[in-house]
Every structure is written in structure tokens, then in C-alpha cells.
């Protein structure tokens, strides 16, 4: 089995190859990213229980079609998430540092017209996560913990490998669980904002039962045992898969 360091070396080697193809033509870039961003929206929402198929997700996002028998919330989850990807892409292209306002804006997009009262606002009540032994931060300590979160980012953003920085920010965010709803989607978007800002590809953790279970189990191990190696490995392997997929799409289009 490969070590985390070996996987990171493979990722950087693949990124070096990818950089040789950049910049892509606007047409090529749009075709590739539209497909990947729809797939990412589908998988990220599926992790959280959205029942749309990949095709239904694409129809709702790209054609504005309403899927019969599906709840309006599921339609909004697809539309909002796709818009949130566009938002983090814009932030990444500007090379802006992660700020609290940016994080809250991402969350606001995720919950737009779903829960406007709580969109972009830290929770004021305590919560428990179903099926998890981890207890999120007390509501009264959320701002304090989020301040620590951003201090960690500032201190580590130029020291940690971008893949590890993204994984750490994901894990620390869901451990705090600062919002009533939408924490998982927001955490994955923050992770991908960091990756895109450094020229890496979005990590797409699939919503299959096996993948979702591995994702939750490695996160919980990090939260309850302070052992994050498995989660870092999961994110690194997902990034390696994504960057190789991106390369294959470029080569097949040439």
C-alpha cells in the first residue's frame, strides 16, 4: 500500500503534467468543467440524502426542468450547489485568501430559499449528529472555535501541502459543525476552494454506500480518536483520481 507521501508525489506529478496543457481553450474548459461540476453536485448532494439521479441533476441544472415526484428542496439543493461551485471557482481564480465572509457566503448559497433564516448564520442551539458519537461544539463557543479555525488557516496556508490543508480545513469545519444545516456540503466546497486556488482539481467524494461509509468513518475517527491519517489518505486518493480523470478528459478531447 502506498504511503500518503507517495500519493502526494503522484498528485504533484500529475498536476505538473496537467499544467502543461493549461490554459485550455474556453470551449474545452467549459465542456470539461460543466460535466465535472454537475457530477460533483450530484455526488455531494447524494451524500446528504438527495435522491436525484445524475441525469436528473443535469436536467435541473442545465435545462431548468422540474422532476415530477421530487421535492422542491431537492431541486433547490441541485441548483444552489452548482451555483456555489461557480462562486468558489470565481474566488479561486482571484487567489483570494479564505475569509469568514466567504465561508458564510458559500453557506448562504447552499441554503438559499431552503432555510433563509439560517443561511450564512452560525447556529444558536446545540445539535447532535445522528449516528455519530462526536458531539459538535457548544453553540456559545462557535465564534471562538471559528476564530481558531481561521487562525489555523492563516498559520498553515503556506506550510501545509494544499491537499493536506484542504483536508484539515474540511475536518475541522465539520467537527465544529457551525451551522444548523448544510455543514457537509459547505465543508466539501471549502476543501475544493483551497484545492482550486492552488491549481488542483476538485475532490469528488462519491455518494455510494461504501464511499459514504468510509468518508464518515474516517472523519469520525479523526474527531473522536484524533487520528486523521485515514481521512487525509481518503482525500489524497480522491484528488489523485480527480486529477487523472481531468487529464484523461483533456487527452480524449485532443
Q: Which residues make Cβ contacts (< 8 Å) with residue 5, sequence separation at least 6?
A: none
As averages over each run of 10 residues, the pLDDT of the chain (254 residues) reads: 96 97 91 94 97 98 96 98 98 95 98 97 93 91 98 98 98 97 98 98 96 96 95 98 94 76
pLDDT for position 117:
96
> What is the CATH classification number for the domain harbouring 70?
1.10.3290.10
pLDDT for position 152:
98
Answer whether 49's CB lies under 8 Å from 30's CB.
no
Residue 61 domain boundaries: 4-253
CA angle 165/167/171 to nearest 5° reads 120
Its sign, for the CA torsion 180, 38, 219, 51, is positive
Q: Which of 75, 107, 177, 232 is catalytic?
A: 177
Phi-psi sector, 182: left (phi>0), alpha (psi -120 to 50), beta: left
109 is written with which cell numbers?
448559497
Question: pTM for the complete prediction?
Answer: 0.96
CA angle 114/119/121 to nearest 5° reads 155
CA distances from 41 to 3, 26, 114, 128, 180 (A): 30, 22, 16, 26, 20
pLDDT for position 1:
82
Domains contained in the chain, number = 1
84 is written with which cell numbers?
456555489
Q: Is 177 a catalytic residue?
A: yes
SS3 string, the chain, reads CCCHHHHHHHHHHHHHHHHHCCCCCHHHHHHHHHHHHHHHHHHHHHHCCCCCCHHHHHHHHHHCCCCCCCCHHHHHHHHHHHHHHHHHHHHHHCCCCCCHHHHHHHHHHHCCCCCCCCCCCCCCCCCCCCCCCCCCCCHHHHHHHHHHHHHHHHHHCCCCCHHHHHHHHHHHHHHHCCCCCCHHHHHHHHHHHHHHHCCCCCCCCCCCHHHHHHHHHHHHHHHHHCCCHHHHHHHHHHHHHHHHHHHHHHHHHC
Amino acid at each position: 500500500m502506498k504511503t500518503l507521501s507517495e500519493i502526494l508525489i503522484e498528485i504533484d506529478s500529475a498536476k505538473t503534467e496537467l499544467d502543461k496543457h493549461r490554459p485550455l481553450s474556453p470551449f474545452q474548459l467549459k465542456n470539461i468543467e460543466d460535466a465535472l461540476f454537475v457530477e460533483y453536485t450530484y455526488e455531494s448532494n447524494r451524500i446528504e440524502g438527495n435522491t436525484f439521479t445524475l441525469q436528473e441533476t443535469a436536467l435541473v441544472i442545465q435545462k431548468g426542468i422540474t422532476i415530477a415526484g421530487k421535492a422542491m428542496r431537492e431541486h433547490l439543493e441541485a441548483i444552489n450547489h452548482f451555483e456555489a461551485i461557480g462562486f468558489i471557482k470565481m474566488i479561486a481564480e482571484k487567489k483570494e485568501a479564505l475569509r469568514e465572509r466567504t465561508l458564510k457566503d458559500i453557506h448562504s448559497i447552499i441554503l438559499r430559499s431552503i432555510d433563509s433564516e439560517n443561511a450564512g448564520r452560525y447556529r444558536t442551539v446545540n445539535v447532535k449528529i445522528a449516528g455519530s458519537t462526536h458531539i459538535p461544539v457548544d453553540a456559545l463557543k462557535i465564534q471562538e472555535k471559528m476564530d481558531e479555525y481561521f487562525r489555523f488557516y492563516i498559520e498553515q496556508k503556506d506550510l501545509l501541502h494544499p491537499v493536506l490543508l484542504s483536508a484539515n480545513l474540511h475536518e475541522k469545519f465539520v467537527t465544529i459543525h457551525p451551522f444548523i444545516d448544510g455543514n457537509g456540503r459547505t465543508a466539501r466546497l471549502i476543501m475544493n476552494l483551497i484545492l482550486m486556488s492552488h491549481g488542483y482539481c476538485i475532490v469528488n467524494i462519491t455518494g455510494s454506500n461504501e464511499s459514504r461509509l468510509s468518508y464518515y468513518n474516517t472523519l469520525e475517527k479523526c474527531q473522536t480518536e484524533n487520528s486523521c491519517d485515514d481521512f487525509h489518505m481518503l482525500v489524497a486518493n480522491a484528488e489523485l483520481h480527480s486529477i487523472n480523470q481531468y487529464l484523461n478528459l483533456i487527452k480524449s478531447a485532443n
